[in-house]
């Protein structure tokens, strides 16, 4: 039995679909690289979560992209980053108002609602969703050691691009990266608390040491080229004035060091 030969149009459509899929994967990879570059440069969780919310919101043109974290000790869930309102940083939310968020945090599994307008669990906010023209809702848990420590909440526009299975998998990858970055930030902050070291003051100390080292090496190199110091050619008054200025400078430096 001879199989029918695909037409040129069918072959062109197949190739076009494959090219589109590859382009979609390329955008995902570029987004992951950009996210890694941003979060690698920070050890503060506020900067990390805000960067991720912004990147995801821009990548998908989302109606909403928020990141929630669980406070086990206080038994609360906090909204810590928002794409549509970056000023929101630490807002306690009632998870009963977000059944999809509650489900993701309790089960540790991704919740995907392909049509928010017809979802039975969202009847209480159908009007608000219709006004916002919301299409899909995706909640991806952020897990550490099999426990949900937070979630990434994403909403797409009804007239925007569809949220595919590949997009959901991409968001799961980002959630894993977020968990690792938050864990590193938590360890860094704990070490800071234990050591009592202020990183800003430590940086200033390193700058001061580097400056003194540079000046010392510069003067030593000048002495090697020009021969021994000839301070004897200075008058007594000039030498005394230099000593006075050095004393003033050292006193200022000592006061500055005590005030930091």
Question: What does the pLDDT profile of the chain (260 residues) look like in tens digits?
Answer: 555 666 787 777 777 777 766 776 777 777 777 777 777 766 677 888 888 999 888 888 888 899 999 987 778 899 999 998 888 888 999 988 889 999 999 999 999 998 888 888 888 888 888 888 888 999 999 998 888 999 999 999 888 777 888 888 889 999 988 888 888 777 766 666 666 655 556 556 666 666 666 666 656 665 565 555 555 555 566 666 666 766 766 666 666 555 54
Domain check: are 63 and 122 in the same one?
Answer: yes
Please indicate, yes or no, if residue 2 is contained in any of the structural domains: no
Domain boundary among 195, 221, 248: 195
Distance CA 171, CA 152 (A): 8
Q: What is the DSSP letter of 73?
A: T
Q: What is the CATH number of the domain that holds 123?
A: 3.30.450.40
Domain check: are 161 and 113 in the same one?
Answer: yes
Domain check: are 112 and 19 in the same one?
Answer: yes
Domain check: are 251 and 206 in the same one?
Answer: yes
Please indicate, yes or no, if residue 209 is contained in any of the structural domains: yes
Domain check: are 177 and 64 in the same one?
Answer: yes
pTM equals 0.64
List Cβ<8 Å contacts ≥24 apart for 36-41.
Answer: 36/177, 39/177, 39/178, 39/181
Please indicate, yes or no, if residue 3 is contained in any of the structural domains: no
Distance CA 186, CA 183 (A): 5
**Which pLDDT belongs to residue 124?**
82
CB 153 within 8 A of CB 139: yes
User: What is the Cβ-side half-sphere exposure of residue 200, based on CA atoms within 13 angstroms?
Assistant: 1
Domain count within the chain? 2
Other CB atoms within 10 A of residue 153 CB = 24
Domain check: are 175 and 223 in the same one?
Answer: no
Domain boundary among 152, 169, 195: 195
Domain boundary among 148, 173, 195: 195
Domain check: are 191 and 220 in the same one?
Answer: no
**Which pLDDT belongs to residue 36?**
75
Domain check: are 75 and 19 in the same one?
Answer: yes
Domain check: are 205 and 106 in the same one?
Answer: no
Can you give the residue range of the structural domain that contains 74? 11-195
Please indicate, yes or no, if residue 6 is contained in any of the structural domains: no
Domain check: are 94 and 209 in the same one?
Answer: no
Domain check: are 236 and 147 in the same one?
Answer: no
Domain check: are 115 and 69 in the same one?
Answer: yes
């Amino acid at each position: 039995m001879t199989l029918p030969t695909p037409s040129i149009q069918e072959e062109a459509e197949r190739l076009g679909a494959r090219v589109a899929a590859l382009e979609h994967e390329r955008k995902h990879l570029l987004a992951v690289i950009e996210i890694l570059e941003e979060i690698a440069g920070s050890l503060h969780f506020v900067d990390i979560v805000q960067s991720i919310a912004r990147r995801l919101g821009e990548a998908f043109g989302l109606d909403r992209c928020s990141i929630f974290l669980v406070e086990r000790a206080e038994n609360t869930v906090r909204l810590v980053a928002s794409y549509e309102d970056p000023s929101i940083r630490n807002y306690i939310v009632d998870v009963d108002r977000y059944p999809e968020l509650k489900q993701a945090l309790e089960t540790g599994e991704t919740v995907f609602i392909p049509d928010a307008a017809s979802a039975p669990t969202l009847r209480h906010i159908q009007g608000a969703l219709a006004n916002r023209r919301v299409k899909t809702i995706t909640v991806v848990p952020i897990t550490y050691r099999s426990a949900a420590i937070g979630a990434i909440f994403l909403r797409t526009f009804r007239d925007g691009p569809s949220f595919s299975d590949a997009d959901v998998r991409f968001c799961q990858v980002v959630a894993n990266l977020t968990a690792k970055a938050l864990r590193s930030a938590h360890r860094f902050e704990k070490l800071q608390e234990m050591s009592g070291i202020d990183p800003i003051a430590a940086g200033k100390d390193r700058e001061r040491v580097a400056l003194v080292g540079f000046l010392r090496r510069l003067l030593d190199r000048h002495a090697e080229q020009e021969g021994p110091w000839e301070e004897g050619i200075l008058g007594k008054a000039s030498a005394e004035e230099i000593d006075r200025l050095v004393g003033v400078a050292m006193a200022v430096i000592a006061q500055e060091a005590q005030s930091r």
